[in-house]
Amino acid sequence: MGKPEDSSIQAMEDPQTSPPTTNDVTRASNENVVWWDSDSDPENPMNWTDTTRNTTCACLAFLSFVAPLGSSICAPGVTSIMIEFRNTSLVLATLVVSIYVLGFAFGPLLFAPLSELVGRLPAYHISNVGFVAFTVACALAPTLNTLVAFRFLEGFFGCVVLTNGSGTMMDMTPQEKRGRYVALVSIGPLLGPILGPVVGGFVADGLGWRWTFWILAILIGAVMIAMMLFMKESYAPIILDRKAEKLRKETGNMELRSKLGEGLTAGRLFWRSIARPLRLLALSPINLMVALYVAVVYGYIYLMLTTVSAVFRDNYGFSTKLTGLAYLGLGIGSMVGVCASSVASDKAVQRRQAEIEHEVELSSSTALGDTEKTTEVEPEVRLQFVLVGGFLLPIGFFFYGWVVYYHVHWFVPIFAMVFIGAGNMILFMGLVMYLVDSAGMYAASALAANSLIRSIAGAFLPLAGLPMFEALGFGWGNSVLGFIALVMAPIPFLLKKYGAWLRAKFDDKEKI
């Protein structure tokens, strides 16, 4: 009976993971720590097959597209909604779209810590069930007020992939391959809202606004079933906790514990995990700087979503269907940005990894233990290409604003939006990947903190969009956005130069 757990426990006696000691108490304690059976243990998500990894990524990539799609798919039908409910409030009309994103702000405060307490998979399943339920509720809403309330809850339950998706990618992919996987779950939050009006415009015009929610519910239900059938738990602390619990039952040794366990009760761990996103914002300058920059980037997308249709309808005479197609400039730019960013990010990590391996080879005669450093590439390497996005974004807004102001041919402002979309995606993806690498096992909490700030910006910035453009005009209004983006542009440079120092000084894991 003692054999099944031997390899799990003895793995801790490897000198690389638990240095030898003459202290009997320490040795006994180490022998009770449960770890992976070997470097190739199939239970370790890092050793999953490509099929398992790609299936997981496909499910999350689709969900990360559908969830943000829900934020804007009903936008073209807002006029019909207001007519049906006989309401003329501009604020309520805007809230029908933007309050969904406010749900994105608060949902992660529950689902990010929940994923660290019970696992990624249960958090996904609970969230998806609520997501489907409240999307159906939106389709059946009897009044405008209930629709707004259901939209908030729809966003609240639909948020989980935005915080846990990149965390799952970190769980199962080595650092040098992480960029391409994170790219697939990062493009959804920007591409989904852009394509939402394109899809919603045709659906609302042909079938009515309620069908935008029915179609969304069908898409969510399909990916929910796929995730239940094909996905596995990926969070290492939870997998090892379950392994330790199984070994305790098999051996009767109640002292066995996971190497990654925090030694806290479930209640204390849950409340600590809930508070962790807020502590990360308060205690980590890196998290705060990234959150503020991403909030600007994310808020700009939703500001564009609420103004582009008016621009092309009033300035260029586009119909309801054609205004949806005007968003394709943002979509194309986003695709260019995600492809360029993912390739450049992974290549930068691979180059740095090769440099470290070369350094280790040169020093191997005097530093035998340094071979493990080959997998520890500094997170700041991810920021090299982000600097490009920092300049594309303001250029795009200056370009877009003034060609609209002077009524240049409709193709030119759509082309200008390619720069905005590319800059947004390069910044969003690069900063998210940097945050994931920097936060390590607390990536979900770091992303929850990030999601809180950016979703508040995404919910409320659109409320200021049309009034600002009415006061300043599209030329100077978009120039203000460009100047703000230009002021934020040095942040990646500062993080690249001082990120390691900030992490060492402020990211105290004990406090977090």
Answer whether residue 268 shows pLDDT above 80. Answer: no
Higher pLDDT, 182 or 111: 111
pLDDT digits (tens, 9 = 90+) for 351-385: 887 877 777 777 665 544 444 444 577 888 888 88
pLDDT on residue 30: 62
Q: What is the CA radius of gyration of the chain?
A: 24
**What pLDDT, on a 0 to 100 scale, did the predictor assign at position 315?**
86
Residue 18 reports pLDDT greater than 60: no
Q: Taking a C-beta distance cutoff of 8 angstroms, is the pair 421, 336 a contact?
A: yes
What pLDDT score does 261 carry?
A: 64
Looking up tokens 């695709």, which residue turns up?
Answer: 335
Q: What percent of the chain has pLDDT over 70?
A: 86
Band of pLDDT at residue 436, cut at 50, 70 and 90: confident
**For range 313-333, the mean pLDDT:** 81
Distance CA 98, CA 96 (A): 6
Q: What percent of the chain has pLDDT over 90?
A: 30
The pLDDT assigned to 370 comes to: 47
- pLDDT top residue among 143 and 277: 143
In angstroms, rounded to a whole number, what is the distance separating the alpha carbons of residues 346 and 348? 5
pLDDT tens for residues 223-254? 999 999 999 999 888 888 888 888 888 888 77
19 pLDDT tier (thresholds 50, 70, 90): very low
Query: What value does the mean pLDDT of the chain take?
Result: 82
Predicted pLDDT of residue 2: 43
Domain range list for the chain = 47-230+262-504
Candidates 195, 213, 52; CA nearest to 139 is 213
CATH superfamily for 47-230+262-504 is MFS general substrate transporter like domains (1.20.1250.20)
- Residue 145: closest CA among 208, 99, 191, 104: 99
Distance of CA 160 to the CA centre of its chain: 9
Q: Which has the minimum average pLDDT: 85-99, 219-233, 266-280?
A: 266-280
Comparing 305 with 492, the larger pLDDT belongs to 492
Q: Which pLDDT value is given to residue 378?
A: 82
State whether residue 471 is helix, strand or coil: helix
Residue 263: per-residue pLDDT: 58
**pLDDT, position 375:** 53
3-state secondary structure of 136: helix
Q: pLDDT grade, residue 14 (50/70/90)?
A: very low
Least confidently predicted of 1-15, 86-100, 360-374, 493-507? 1-15
Top-confidence range, 73-82, 455-464, 477-486? 477-486
How far apart CA 397 and CA 400 sit, in angstroms, is 5
Give residue 25's pLDDT.
36
Residue 43: the pLDDT is 87
The answer, yes or no, to whether residue 270 has pLDDT greater than 70, is: no
